[in-house]
Amino acid sequence: QVQLVESGGGLVQPGGSLRLSCAASGTIFSINAMGWHRQAPGKQREMVAGITSGGSTIYADSVKGRFTISSDNAKNTVYLQMDSLKSEDTAVYYCNAVRVAAAGGDLPEVWGQGTSVTVSS
């Protein structure tokens, strides 16, 4: 069974930084891509950033230049470095993995439980 566990969320002041981590556990052979999404109170979940196994990245316009996604394929882990945080970045951040080849069968998508980020003075 594949599970994603996020960590690194918390309370930070505007202009501050946080680094989120997401580790995939289980007998995993490969992951095509991983990403971060967020859901603010009363809003729909939105894509924040994504990275393929080859290193290609994509970002939401709202975070370009402030957030950086990276990964360690050997550890099946993805990171999100968040700098110059704004109050509007407050949300629950979810990690996902796409096209996971694992023991017991391939999975089209796996989601983590989320980690809360609050940007407030």
Q: Tell me the per-residue pLDDT of 36-88, one tens digit each, with 9 for 90 and over.
A: 999 999 999 999 999 999 999 999 999 999 999 999 999 999 999 999 999 99
Dist CA 121 CA 18 (whole Å) = 15
Model pLDDT for residues 98-113, shown as the tens digit of each residue: 999 999 889 999 999 9
C-alpha to C-alpha distance for 111 and 5, rounded to whole angstroms: 9
CA trace torsion 20, 23, 29, 32 (10° rounding): -20
Neighbour count for residue 101 (Cβ, 10 Å)? 14
| pLDDT score at 12 | 98
